[in-house]
Amino acid sequence: MRSKADCSRSFRLPVPPQPLKEHRQLPVETIVLQMEALLAAAQLGPEFELTRLTSKNRERFRM
Amino acid sequence: MGRGNRANQERLEGRAPTRDKILLMSIYATIFEALQKDAIPFVVIGGHAVVLHGYQRNTFDLDLLVPEGSLPAAKSVLVQLGYTPYFESGAFLQLTPCTGLPPLDLMIVDEITFTRLSHFTEARVFDGWTIQIPDPKRLVAMKLHALKAVSRLNREKDWDDIAGVIRASNLDIEDREFKEIVQTYGSPGAVDEIKGRL
């Protein structure tokens, strides 16, 4: 089953990966769209929802 | 109104921030600022804490540890930021964000646990904001605790995180306190599992 991070990665817009030093050269609108897509992907998909729920279904941590 | 608040207001109104504001926009700092402004104590845990200890791995959503006495105030602040409660149990409050903010999970602990853990935290700068994370041993304890849950799905990632934090922090697995932590919070095979991954 895919992890949350996998879900996010698979939902990226079709923009080729950019080296970090060139990232600032991307149009601001593209960067925003990428962020929006990642955020949307993080919330969508039954696998993500299942992972998110079951991973938190446990007792309190105590020290 | 500060930069983060302006950007957040625009998110709530569904307006696209202008170029100069986009470059100043901080995703996580918006949350830290709002909580600290209302004096709500929190510790950054989960994947971001792992990364801040030096083990680089992909993570996006934000996990915060909060004392249960501060939960109502934290919930109120986060709802004002545009978050919607998604799932709540005695141990967790999970929130779904409005556009532009990360999914957020609050791990709820009793006051004694929060106070004790606060003695074992380290400061880090995250998204331009100074926050606290658990020290490596306490972070490993939390990961071992999570692994004990039978419903846990991301076991491999948890074990990778544990090994990654141990290596990045140069933790001595023969250290007495570390052994006690593994015995207290880990399952019976935890020691061998850790040794096998280092």
Mean pLDDT of each 10-residue bin along chain B, 198 residues long: 49 49 66 96 96 88 96 97 90 86 93 97 93 98 90 85 96 96 94 94
Residue among B96, B105, B142 whose CB faces A56 most closely: B105
Q: What is the pLDDT of residues B63-77, one digit of tens each?
A: 999 999 999 999 999
Neighbour order of strands in the sheet with B92-96: B43-45, B62-67, B104-109, B92-96, B84-88
Overall average pLDDT of the A23-49 stretch = 57
Q: Identify the residue whose tokens are 């570390």.
A: B178
ipTM surpassing 0.90, yes or no?
A: no
For the domain made up of B1-134, give the CATH fold: Beta Polymerase; domain 2 (3.30.460)
Mutant choice from B15, B152, B160, B161 vs A, greatest count of A C-beta within 10 A? B152
Interatomic CA distance for residues A29 and B4, integer angstroms: 19
pLDDT computed for residue A55 by the predictor: 66
Label residue B68 left, alpha or beta by phi (over 0 means left) and psi (-120 to 50 means alpha): alpha
Domain ranges in chain B are 1-134, 136-198
Q: B132 vs chain A: nearest CA distance in angstroms? A: 17
Q: CB–CB of B30/B7 below 8 Å?
A: yes
Q: B39 vs chain A: nearest CA distance in angstroms? A: 23
Instruction: Please compute, for residue B107, the number of CA atoms within 13 A of its CA located in the half-sphere on the CB side.
Output: 23
- Three-state secondary structure call for residue B88: strand
Residue among A36, A42, A60 whose CB faces B102 most closely: A42
Interatomic CA distance for residues A28 and B7, integer angstroms: 15
| Cβ distance of B112 and A1 shorter than 8 Å | no
Interatomic CA distance for residues A27 and A35, integer angstroms: 13
3-state helix/strand/coil string of B118-151: HCCEEEEEECCEEEEEECHHHHHHHHHHHHHCCC
Nearest to B160, CA basis, from B69, B79, B51, B80? B51
Q: CB–CB of B44/B63 below 8 Å?
A: yes
pLDDT computed for residue B97 by the predictor: 87
* Number of Cβ pairs < 8 A linking chain A and chain B: 97
pLDDT computed for residue A27 by the predictor: 57
pTM over 0.80, yes/no: no
Which amino acid would we find at residue A51? T
* Beta strand pairing call for B104-109 and B62-67: parallel
Tokens of A58: 């446990």
